[in-house]
Amino acid sequence: MKKKLIAGNWKMNGSLAANEALVRAVVAGLPQAACKVAVCVPAPYLAQVQALCQGSALELGAQDVSRHEQGAFTGEVSAAMLADFGVRYAIVGHSERRQYHGETDELVAAKAQAALARGITPIACVGETLAEREAGQTEDVVRRQLAAVIDANRSRLGEIVVAYEPVWAIGTGRTATPEQAQQVHAALRAQLAAATPQPERIAILYGGSMNAANAASLLAQPDIDGGLIGGASLKAADFLQIIAAAG
């Protein structure tokens, strides 16, 4: 049975002092080998957090990656640069990137491909808006988003992590019920099963306002393999409680 993965997404939060206090508290409280744990931090803090994670089970993640290897792409960060800092995971296609930066399914798939080429596991995000859910389009939307990643990375699907993050439940305090989340995760698992002989190897995380109070019920669902944690990952006690629920 594969270990669950709990990945914190700090978003655009942090400072040198706050990061040190948070990471030290998380590392000190990590249970032994209960699940895999990572923190996806803003690019300026990769070196700091890499040093703080050394010798611990806490792995380093990035919040984005360029589709390009190098060149005249001001402000972009390549997968090779992330690899220099020991980055293990990179979030691609987060709903905030899709919404605020116009990222397309094709671009997200290319970013996943770039990460894989440098030995970095992409956490490929899919999810529907409230309007799409209310129109009964949830499964169509997430299947379309995942299909782009599958098509571009078919030979390496077993190395990808998928995160279902209903847009209407991100940072809103609203959460899909365990049953709603499981329904979408099962649809994604079926899609992966049609594309790879070992779909069970691919972790599918839930990423819609998972917190210390609801983590256990969400993580108990058969197709929920962990969590992509936003606000709760900025509070060591809450993050550790979610990690414990995944054990």
pLDDT, one tens digit per residue, over 173-209 is 777 899 999 999 999 999 999 999 889 899 999 998 8
CA–CA separation, 173 and 189 (whole Å): 26
Q: In this structure, what CATH number is given to the domain that contains residue 53?
A: 3.20.20.70
Number of domains, the chain: 1
Establish whether 94 is a catalytic residue. Answer: yes
114 is a domain residue: yes
131 is a domain residue: yes
Which residues are CB-neighbours of 14 under 8 A, at least 6 positions away?
A: 22, 41, 42, 45
70 is a domain residue: no
Establish whether 165 is a catalytic residue. Answer: yes
Q: Tell me the residue range of the domain where 35 lies.
A: 5-65+75-246
CA–CA separation, 10 and 44 (whole Å): 12
What integer pLDDT is reported at residue 102 of this predicted model? 97
94, 96, 103, 128: the active-site residue: 94
59, 128, 165, 185: the active-site residue: 165
Q: Which range has the worst mean pLDDT, 85-99, 160-174, 191-205?
A: 160-174
223 is a domain residue: yes
11 is a domain residue: yes
Tell whether pTM > 0.95.
yes
CA–CA separation, 226 and 31 (whole Å): 16
102 is a domain residue: yes
109 is a domain residue: yes
Please determine, for residue 80, whether its predicted confidence score (pLDDT) is greater than 90: yes
214 is a domain residue: yes
CA–CA separation, 220 and 132 (whole Å): 26
Name which of 23, 72, 15 is nearest 240 in CA terms. Answer: 23
